[in-house]
A and B are shown apart, each in its own frame.
Chain A
């Protein structure tokens, strides 16, 4: 199937470039720094009710890393093909647009997942090389990684979408960054003490509670739930449907760009 061929080629073109290794290196160092910071903070103040991983995943700095990481990983996917003109060659082969979109998305997503391997390595190290061993809880750890993966899945699809609507990689990266930044900060609104906004419309009384809406979208809130070892299906549905929407928009945008060119 053309999907596998395209996926192979996409992975090849990500890892043939030294940029990929620089990005992985930067992610690995940032993760290490965050990890060490959380570890020493917990250790220093003798906190026992929170694990290191839980502290990391709910630290806003952790998500600022994601804000920079995702746009850098996705900016070139489509923008480069449009710039080099290889899209014309690609789409005159007997393949469908969605195969191209899905292959590029999968490759970028796998790259994203790979960048989080160092965190797993750090957790394992902490468990193995401490005496007495730092206790390891399977569900909180697994759910934290699940949280990172599903949030990443959605953000990567946003990055893919911003890459298809421009031919300049930098513009694409900035757009993705702005989207993720705004999305993250909408979540922070849930900490505001705001009265529900009530108004009447066509004789009905409606009320909009901004902090409540924001809390449904809050990445930090979702992550703290998962990190405690509680599985909440609402964020899973949210991020899955968000990803599908973004991939659908990407496929449409690709079609529209081809028709305009």
Chain B
């Protein structure tokens, strides 16, 4: 659906985006993550055909964003970060105007406006003047606008930035629902959202791609990000020597906790599950065991590790 080859963009000497190469397949949800000023919005603006790339080639659904910009723009629904809209218009007037602009056939306009009203829960805002709406409500209107012509690809720049927690949850459901018919590229700061929604995450920092992978693979990459936490009543040094002898275990740490209890961390080789064998080793020693948990790093930790200097 999206194919980006060596994309670069400079603004008056400053390189905002350097050599990005990635692709997004049909009906995939891909999250673009990165600190502020990393080049996320620039990338999305280029994909939407608003900005031309300085270098490199971007094709969307087989059309080049520079030379066949009109064809590309017919196929995408772009929701910019600041959701600019005409403050004097009413919501339904705005949606009707946008539908006409995006060449929705006039007999379908009514249906489409009703459909996006329902999808984005704009029911009671239909007749409100856009300037009087809150940020979250305006964002729902912008989302409705990006959906109105049933685009193949949705490019959403921080779609949930002004939402309250209930709306974020609703938006998440909506994006999941939309992904059945649309390809979605979204950028966000809310990592839990990405973890729950996206098939793939692209982490951008300083205009470069740091990592592109599934959320679970990314968290696994974090140093010490995946271990087994055990709480055993036994001497610390004994725990280390016994557990290190178990197959696939790479490293064991143990710290004395309280009343003779110790908290141990068991690091195993990637892709292995050592819970069974650790349990039998402890059982063989006859040590009391009161907790055993798998601890996974969050995407947040992966993000911080990948983007810090």
Contact = CB atoms under 8 A, between A and B. Distances in A.
B85 A261 contact: no
B70 A96 contact: yes
Interface in A81-104: 84-86, 88-96
Contact of B50 (A6, A13, A92): A92
A258 B70 contact: no
A86 B88 contact: no
Interface in A9-33: 9, 13, 16-17
B103 A261 contact: no
Contacts of A261: 51
B84 A9 contact: no
Interface residues on A, range: 20 to 34
A194 B138 CA distance: 63
A94 B73 contact: yes
A96 B71 CA distance: 11
A151 to B, nearest CB: 31
B303 interface: no
A139 to B, nearest CB: 42
- For chain B, the bracket of interface size reads 20 to 34
B101 interface: yes
Contacts of A259: 51-52
Given A13-B86, A13-B88, A88-B80, A2 B48 contact: no
B296 interface: no
Contacts of B103: 2, 94
A5 interface: yes
Given A17-B88, A85-B82, A89-B84, A95 B101 contact: yes
Nearest to B80: A88
B194 to A, nearest CB: 24
A148 to B, nearest CB: 30
B85 A94 contact: no
Nearest to B50: A92
12 contacts: A2-B101, A2-B103, A9-B97, A17-B88, A86-B85, A92-B50, A92-B78, A92-B80, A94-B70, A94-B73, A94-B103, A95-B101
Given A93-B98, A94-B73, 9 more contacts: A2-B100, A16-B88, A88-B80, A89-B84, A91-B50, A92-B50, A92-B78, A96-B70, A261-B51
Interface of A: 2, 5-6, 9, 13, 16-17, 84-86, 88-96, 258-259, 261
